[in-house]
Amino acid sequence: MAMTGAAAALSRPLRAVLYPALVALVLLGAWQITVDALEVPPYVLPSPWRTVQTLIADWSMLGAALLVTLRITLLAFALATLCGTALAFVFVQSRTLETALFPYAVLLQVTPIVAIAPLIIIWVRDPTAAMTICAALVALFPVIANTTLGLRSVDPDLLGYFRLHRASRMQVLLRLRIPGALPYFFGGLRISSGLALIGAVVAEFVAGTGGTGAGLAYQILLSGYQLDIPRMFAALLLISLTGIALFAAMSLLARGVLRPWHASEINRE
Amino acid sequence: MSAGGRAGPSLAAVAVRGAALTYDDGTQALQPIDLGIEAGEFVTLLGPSGCGKSTLLKLIAGLLRPSVGEVRIRGAPPQALDTARHRVAFVFQAPTLMPWCRVAANARLPLDLAGMARAEADARVAEALARVGLGDSANKLPHTLSGGMQMRVSIARALVTRPDLLLLDEPFGALDEITRQRLDIDLLGLWRERALTVVFVTHSIHEAVFLSQRVVILAARPGRIVAEHIVDEPYPRQPEFLVSTRFAGHARQLQELLAQASTTADDDAAGRNATWPHGSAGREPRWP
C-alpha cells in the first residue's frame, strides 16, 4: 500500500514526533472549529487560539508562576531521587531493615498527599520547603521500589562468579549491582518526575499561597475565582508542557546512558 | 591420590571425601561422593539432568558447601584459599558476561577484583583474548557477539587468572553442533598447552568421549556416582576420532553404563523398564 510505503520511508524518531503531532492538529482543529461554529463563550470553553493569545498576553504573570512551580518540582524530584536511592541501598544491604521499613514506604505511597499536606504546611514554616516535602513524598516511592528491585535483579551466576573471586561487598555493589540497576532506576525516575510535578501542584493548591511566590496552581485557583477561564487553560497548558518536558528529559537521559547495552534501548533501532 | 600430602604449588588436585548435599527441605541432591582428581587430568562428569553433576562441580568450586564430608583442593578447603592460591576458574553454562562492559573489561573482571595493576591485567587480557580468537573484538559489547563468541569471552575470562584448575559446567550446551565441536577442540588445545586440570560437566556422551581421559557417570534421584570409564585414547584428538570405531565403542559402553544406572533406579522405584526415570529427567544422551 502507498500509505505503508510512505510510513516506512520516514525514520523512526521522525514518526514518533509526527504521528502525535498529527493527532494534536486534528483535535485542536476540531476544538477550534467547534468553538467558533457554536460561538461558545470563552468563559465556558476558550478556543486553542484564545488560550495561546492569553498565554502570550499574561506571560509575565504565568511565566513567573511557571518558574515557581518548576523550582518546587525539581527540588522535590531531586530530594525524592536522593532519599529514594539511599533507602534502596539500605534495603539491599539488609533484609531486616527492608522488612521493618518497607511497609512504611507503602504507607507513604497510599496515603493521599492532600490529606497530609495541611499538616506538613503547619509543621514546616517555610512554604517552599513545605511544598517541596509534599511533592517529594509523592515522588519517592517509584524510586525506592524500582531501585531496590534493580539492585536485587542480579544474575545469580554472575553473583556466584564474583563470590568465587572473593569480591568484597563494595565490589559487588559498584561493579555488579549498580550498573545492573540502572535500567530500573531510570524507569523509576521517569515515573517520579511526573509525580513530583503532580505533587507540587497539589501542594500549591492545599497551601493556597499567593503573592510573589505563587505557582501555576495558584494561578488556576485565582483564575477560577475571577472566571478568567482562558488564563486557567493557559496555566493548565504550561503544567502539561512541563510534565511532557520532564518525561522527555528523563527518557533522553536513560537513552544516553543505556543505549549502548540495554535491550530496552537497543531494540529501538 | 594423596591430596592432603606435600603437594607442590604447581599440583592442582581435587579430593572429594564423603561430600553430600541435602537441601533445607530435606531433598538429597547428592549422596556421599568420593572422587579424586589428579593434577593435569581431564575428567568429565556425565549424567542425565538432575543427577547432581553441576552441584558436584559447584561443591568443588566452593560455590556450595557440602552438608557432610569435605572437599579439598590441593589439601585445603576451597573457601579457605585466597585468590592468589585459589587459581580455580569456573565457566558457567551461560556466558554470564556483564552486558554493560566491553569484551576486554569482561575478561579483565577477575583481575580487577583481585586488584591487579592495570598494565599487567591488560597484557594478560590481550593475550587471553588472542588465545580464544577474539583479539579483534576487545572493544565490542557482548550483545553484538554470537553465542559462541560470548562463550569464548567467558573462557578468556577464566584464562586471565592463569588457573591450574578449570571447572566447566555444560559450557557449550546451548551452542550449535559445529561451534561446539570447534570449542571442544580449542579446549583440548588449552588443556594440553597450559597443563590444566579440567573438570567438565556435560550430558552429551559424544562430548564426554571426545574430550576426556576419564568419565565419571552419575545417576539421578538421589544424585550419586555409579561408574567410571577410562577413555584410553591418544591426544591430540581430531574430528576424525568422532567417526572412528574406537569412539563408537567408548560411546556404547557409556551408553550401557547410563542405561544400567537408570534401570537400577527404576528397580529401586518400581518397574523394570529401561527408560530414564521420572519423565522430565529425559532421554538426554542422544546416542543412536
The DSSP secondary structure of A213-229, one letter per residue, reads G--HHHHHHHHHHTT-H
Is residue B88 scored above 80 in pLDDT? Answer: yes
CA distance B183 to B171: 10
8 Å CB contact of B61 and A164: yes
In chain A (269 residues long), the average pLDDT of successive 10-residue segments reads 57 83 93 92 89 92 92 96 93 87 86 86 87 92 93 90 88 92 93 94 81 80 90 93 93 85 64
d(CA A258, CA A64): 35
Among the residue ranges B9-13, B250-254, B279-283, the one predicted with the least confidence is B279-283
SS3 A206: helix
**Residues B91-113: tens digit of each pLDDT:** 998 899 999 999 999 999 999 98
Judging contacts by C-beta atoms under 8 Å, the chain B residues touching residue A162 are 113
Considering CB atoms only, which of A157, A166, A176 is closest to B92?
A157
Closest B-chain CA to A166: B83
Q: Which residues on A lie below 8 Å from B113 (Cβ)?
A: 162, 165-167, 171, 175
* Best residue in B55, B96, B162 for a mutation probing chain A (most A CBs within 10 Å): B96
pLDDT of A235? 93
Per-position DSSP letters for A12-62, written without gaps between them:
HHHHHHHHHHHHHHHHHHHHHHHHHHHT--TTT---HHHHHHHHHHTHHHH
User: What structural domains does chain A harbor?
Assistant: 75-266 (1.10.3720.10)
On the question of pLDDT at B274 being above 90, the answer is no
For A258, nearest residue in chain B (alpha carbons): B100
CB-nearest to B143 from A157, A161, A266 is A266
Predicted pLDDT of residue B82 = 65
Quick check: bond before B222 cis, omega within 30? yes
Run of H or E including B224:
strand B224-230
Proportion of chain B in helix, strand, coil states, percent, rounded to 5? 40, 20, 40
Question: Is this model's pTM higher than 0.80 or not?
Answer: no
Report the pLDDT value the prediction gives residue B87, as an integer from 0 to 100: 81
pLDDT over 50 (residue B9): no
Residues of chain B in contact with residue A262, where contact means CB-CB under 8 angstroms, are 99-100
Q: What percent of chain B has pLDDT over 90?
A: 29
**B93 to chain A: which residues are within 8 Å by CB?**
157
Amino acid identity at A244:
I
Distance from CA of B86 to the nearest CA of A (A): 9
Best B87, B113, B162, B166 member to test A by mutation, with max A CBs in 10 Å, is B113
β-pairing verdict for B88-91 and B68-73 = unpaired
Is pLDDT above 70 for B285? no
Cell numbers 561408574 label which residue? B227
pLDDT of residue B12 exceeding 70: no
Quote the ipTM score: 0.78
